Amino acid sequence: MRRTTVIRTGLSALLVLGTWATAGLVPAAAAPAPATTEAPASAGLLTAMQKDLGLTKSQAVARLAAEKTATAVDGKARRAAGPSYGGSWFNPDSGTLTVAVTSAGKADAVRATGAAVRLVKHSARQLDAAKAAIDALDAPAGVASWHVDPKANKVVVNVVAAEKNDNDVEAFVARARQAGPVTVVETAKAPQTFAAGTVGGDPYYTGNVRCSIGFSVYGGFVTAGHCGRAGAGVSGWDGSYIGNFQGSSFPDNDYAWVNVGSGWWTVPVVLGWGSVSDQLVRGSNEAPIGASICRSGSTTHWRCGNVLAKNETVNYAQGAVHQMTKTSVCAEGGDSGGSFISGDQAQGVTSGGWGNCSTGGETWYQPVNEILSRYGLTLHTA
């Protein structure tokens, strides 16, 4: 087994939970204590941000505080902008949230919420409509993904550089341009899911596939849909029975949930794998584009990066998956289903990507709030 004594202690109890990957949670005795004074972040989280994002400790603390403020401002600014809302993004250098609007008359109201303002031509509704039209197209393998980029005020279509001149790719791009404002960006590789064959000492198995636990919900945990079909049995790192996939969707979506029983239980914790302290989950407020984000998985453990894009359609070999969030965080086989978290807020479950944690890459996650809404689940929070 690839675990330290500390990680293994009480593991079976925890795994159930949303720990993510394998070992996972924390035994009941070590479960989250009531918080009297909520610190901005644990020392371990700050250390991870310093390592993966190249920040000093004071910069990491300041960034987390700015991101928390930006997340709160985002909803207010969206309401103030009304139909002229064109999207938003966070600038980690200035610590500010910028909101795009199509009407100069809405600028003052948006600024009053604390956001910076940029005047643009296309509203978020128009860009989303263009992307929806592209979603209806049949994408060839050389097209990696596409998403609305509020900063560019266009729909970005990512094509694999080596296949950009392929006839099918060029034809797809031509049809996409007819849908609305489109720009094409080259990417190194096509995305793939991060499931893996059975390997000893990992989080959960279904058939010959190993994946990672995402987040605890009351009654079970959420994870990636490509890890198993509804009805499939799930066992933990120690081989003991946990439960079954109660619902699963892939492609089109990439989410699932597993019920928990047989001596397993859930706790509101994400495993830090010794790189950081185990993280308490306190909610699921959505972090803006540009925010820092970290991931836990059973293969590459704890990794951090930034949110690059939202509502992206990812074109896997098995079919397109919609409404994904793209990040600069690396991942590898077996990390599928694992947790993405920003501060203490659950963000989503690992779906797939390209690259690895030696040379770098990009990873997409399925937003957790959509999973909760789809299955009527309640996130287990501290």
| Residue pLDDT, tens place only, 226-247 | 999 999 999 988 888 999 999 9
Q: pLDDT grade, residue 380 (50/70/90)? A: very high
Distance CA 339, CA 215 (A): 6
Catalytic site residue from 147, 226, 301, 380? 226
Question: Which amino acid makes up residue 171?
Answer: A
Query: Three-class SS of residue 364?
Result: strand
Mean pLDDT of 55-75: 94
Distance CA 148, CA 248 (A): 26
pLDDT over 80 (residue 118): yes
226 is catalytic: yes
241-249 and 255-259: which strand pairing?
antiparallel
For residue range 170-199, list pLDDT tens digits in order. Answer: 999 999 999 999 999 999 999 998 876 543
Q: Which residue would you say has higher pLDDT here, 297 or 199?
A: 297
Mean pLDDT of 290-306: 95
Least confident range from 10-19, 86-95, 360-369: namely: 10-19
Mean pLDDT of 1-26: 30
Q: pLDDT grade, residue 275 (50/70/90)? A: confident
Catalytic site residue from 52, 202, 254, 335? 254
Distance CA 285, CA 299 (A): 26
- What does pLDDT average to over the chain? 87
254 is catalytic: yes
**Tell me, what's the pLDDT at 202?**
62
Q: pLDDT grade, residue 41 (50/70/90)? A: low
- What angle (nearest 5°) sits at the alpha carbon of residue 357, between those of residues 353 and 359? 95
Burial zone of 149 (CB within 10 Å; 0-12 exposed, 13-18 middle, 19+ buried): buried
Distance CA 367, CA 345 (A): 12
**Tell me, what's the pLDDT at 248?**
98
pTM: 0.81
Catalytic site residue from 336, 339, 342, 351? 336
**Angle between the N-to-C axes of helices 43-53 and 57-81, in degrees from 0 to 180, rounded to the nearest 10:** 90
Can you say whether the dihedral through the CA atoms of 366, 367, 369, 373 is positive or negative? negative
C-alpha Rg value of the chain to the nearest Å: 20
